[in-house]
Structure 1
Amino acid sequence: MGLFDGLMGNASELKMEEVQKEFVHILSKSERFEKAYKLIRDLFVFTDKRLILVDKQGLSGKNAL
């Protein structure tokens, strides 16, 4: 019940087809996607080998506080 659990309570799960189209170029040959979640505009992508955090910036080019 830590911080990560609290954050994921407000996240929505993404369809794997969408994630594969956008991130297939960063996978190794033996790696595969497991789950992906979107929290506001940022993404948490879980593969069978690692966790990929995607910090998307807003229109201003600055990270939101």
Structure 2
Amino acid sequence: MGLFSGMIGNASQRDNDKVERQLEDILIPDEQVNLAFVLVRDLIVFTDYRLILVDKQGVTGKKTSYKSLPYRSISRFTVETSGHLDLDAELKIWISSAAEPAEVLQFNSDHNVVEIQQALAEAVLR
């Protein structure tokens, strides 16, 4: 599964300028952050060209994994909202013609997953 697989948390919107400064070594010239969410200590970042998933690893979070998914490579995605017994919401993202999702993101709130799904739909379907 993906790097956020199994992580449950609430996503909250993050300041774009702050995220751009944090990702200055990752972004290409003139690439701008359009929308960013923090999920525990990880980031979900929408730029002009791609979705960047930032995974802070280890106890200190010093080791960091950056996963770039160009919007043109995302072939489909699904959203599963929470129910009465299943309390978490889930967003799955597939790349090209892969049978298994490249990423599985889990959230405590339907509001969080719906907001991120709307941003993903806008980026992928434009």
TM over 0.5: yes
Matched, 1:32 2:36: no
Q: Gapped runs of 5+ residues in structure 1?
A: 1-9
TM-score, length basis structure 1: 0.67
| Partner residue in 1 for 2:15 | 15
Q: How much identity, in percent, do the aligned residues show?
A: 50
2-structure distance, mates of 1:29, 1:21: 13
Pairwise CA RMSD: 2.1
Query: Where do 4+ consecutive residues of structure 1 move more than 2 Å?
Result: none
The secondary structure found in structure 2 opposite 1:24 is coil
Q: Which has the higher helix share?
A: 1
Residue 55 of structure 1: aligned partner: 55
User: Which structure shows the bigger proportion of residues in strand conformation?
Assistant: 2
> Deviation of residue 41 (structure 1)?
1.4
Instruction: Figure out how many residues of one structure are paired with residues of the other and give that number.
Output: 53
Structure 1 residue 58: Cα displacement: 3.4
**Inter-CA distance 26–56: structure 2 relative to 1 (3 Å threshold):** same
- Structure whose alpha-carbon radius of gyration is higher: 2
1:28, distance to aligned residue in structure 2 (A): 1.5
